[in-house]
Chains A and B, each alone.
Chain A
Amino acid sequence: MLKRKNILDSQDLSIEEIEEIISLAQDIIKQPQEYADLCKGKLLATLFYEPSTRTRLSFEAAMLRLGGQVIGFSDSSSSSVKKGESLADTIQTVSCYADIIAMRHPNEGAPKYVANISKIPIINAGDGGHQHPTQTLADLLTIREARGSFEKLKIGVCGDLKFGRTVHSLIKTMSRYEGVEFVLISPKELKIPSYIKEQVLDKNEIKYMEVEKLEDVMEELDILYMTRVQKERFFNEADYVRLKDSYILDRNKLEKSKSNLAILHPLPRVNEISEDIDNDSRAWYFKQAKFGMYMRMALILKVLGVK
């Protein structure tokens, strides 16, 4: 039962609940007109304490397409934070006005903290380098559409695995499916946090390996989840120069891959996926952005108890 539930961590959704959301999203894709007024009179507050284009617009588009309305702010400088208001007070106030909150915050665990204060459901739209559960919903629908199943997949996650919240959420969720393996591709500075290795991968006896170069594992992967590697994350220039091209997916590297590989990326992209593969059938990242909106529509309907 998702009604009035907070969605703070990708683990907050059971496998059954994920299936319910996927089915609903697939139905919305088939017959969007049936859903166009279901949230009439409902208000979503998008509280974005950190800049975001896509996630915020995706949430807002989702609510508007359901016939609901949206209030909020898109960075903390235009909110009362600038006047020194605490996060707790902002949430208490906003929960008097709206029916549901989608919040992005630079501090890790902020959504969990405010969930105890809010009178209305909180959806985590990204908290620091921690979690991004609704991006995972977009990823899941993409994987389902691309591969038909979540089981027995070899998933490569590439790039910034240390601060990449989308990767953390995805690994946590996909670890619950039978026969899933991970290939963790990153420079040593940006390896996956130990809590993910110990508490998720080791604890659930999930097979994984850590490698530094994408080209070494390309041919083995069923799913490739690309993320951006930022130069400022490296401790020294020499390592950046040595490894930067390893995290750029181009036609050359793609040649070695399986023909039914699905390439995902939470976006925005900078240069880590060469634009000349955008039209390749293996490129799913723009469809993924669209699926994200449908999954958010489905999630809003479930959490508000409309469907």
Chain B
Amino acid sequence: MLSINSIKNGIVIDHIKAGTGFSIFKYLGLNNVNYPVALIINAKSKRYGQKDMIKIENSINLDYGVLGFIDPQITINVIENEKIKEKVNLRLPNNVEGIIECKNPRCITANERNPKHKFELIDEEQGKYKCQYCEQVYSWEK
């Protein structure tokens, strides 16, 4: 098993769906930072068989809502003095702005320059969002 040192103060993003770690890594801009970070892909997972992980040796503010939308199975461990200070389970955020685009070609967001794509969670169990302008339903796929 690949070994990576535990971190002293920072964040571990765990249980990332295998294969999506790199895009989250890029989304968080971790390829352009000056503190230690590790992206581990295809690590063994009791729960999921395989998982990706990101370890960040720095206390940064994460947008949990966005991470929850990208992958709600993610867990976040906040580390202080090498100990887990807080475990955060993510859930689908109530509102998502500027991440996904409405697929309705007649929606105002597809035809006007400035409106931001805004979605509202309408069914957490089924991961359904609706466009706040045209009400087209978008299904988040697990």
Residues of A within 8 A of B (CB): 86-88, 105-110, 112-113, 127-130, 194-195, 198-199
A112: chain B residues at CB < 8 Å are: 108, 132-133
A195: chain B residues at CB < 8 Å are: 130, 135-137
* Cβ contact within 8 Å between B106 and A107: yes
Q: Which of B108, B113, B114, B122 contacts A108 (CB 8 A)?
A: B108
The interface size bin for chain B is 20 to 34
Residue of chain A at shortest CB distance from B122: A199
With A106-B106, A107-B107, A129-B106 as given contacts, are A86 and B134 in contact (CB-CB < 8 Å)?
A: no
Q: A86-B113, A109-B133, A199-B122 are in contact. List 4 more A-B contacts (CB 8 A).
A: A107-B134, A108-B135, A110-B133, A128-B106
Residue of chain A at shortest CB distance from B115: A113
Minimum C-beta distance from B79 to chain A (A):
41
Give 20 A-B contacts (CB < 8 Å), ordered by A residue.
A88-B112, A88-B113, A107-B106, A107-B108, A107-B134, A108-B133, A108-B136, A109-B108, A109-B115, A109-B131, A110-B108, A110-B112, A113-B108, A113-B112, A113-B115, A113-B133, A129-B106, A130-B134, A198-B137, A199-B122
**Most-contacted residue by chain B among A109, A128, A194 (CB, 10 A):** A109
* Cβ contact within 8 Å between B135 and A87: no
* Cβ contact within 8 Å between A109 and B130: no
Residue of chain A at shortest CB distance from B104: A108
List of 7 A-B pairs having minimum Cβ-Cβ separation, nearest first: A109-B133, A108-B134, A109-B134, A107-B108, A109-B108, A110-B108, A128-B106
Minimum C-beta distance from B106 to chain A (A):
5
A199: chain B residues at CB < 8 Å are: 122, 130, 135, 137
Q: How far is the CA of A222 from the CA of B107 in the complex (A)?
A: 34
B122: chain A residues at CB < 8 Å are: 199
With A86-B113, A86-B114, A88-B114 as given contacts, are A108 and B132 in contact (CB-CB < 8 Å)?
A: no
Residues of B109-142 at the interface with A, using a CB-CB cut-off of 8 Å, are 109-115, 122-123, 130-137
* Cβ contact within 8 Å between B115 and A108: no
* Cβ contact within 8 Å between B109 and A109: yes
Residue of chain B at shortest CB distance from A8: B133
Minimum C-beta distance from B52 to chain A (A):
33
Q: How far is the CA of A105 from the CA of B134 in the complex (A)?
A: 12
B104: chain A residues at CB < 8 Å are: 108
Q: How far is the CA of A198 from the CA of B122 in the complex (A)?
A: 10
B132: chain A residues at CB < 8 Å are: 109, 112
Residue of chain B at shortest CB distance from A107: B108
Minimum C-beta distance from A213 to chain B (A):
28
Residue of chain A at shortest CB distance from B133: A109
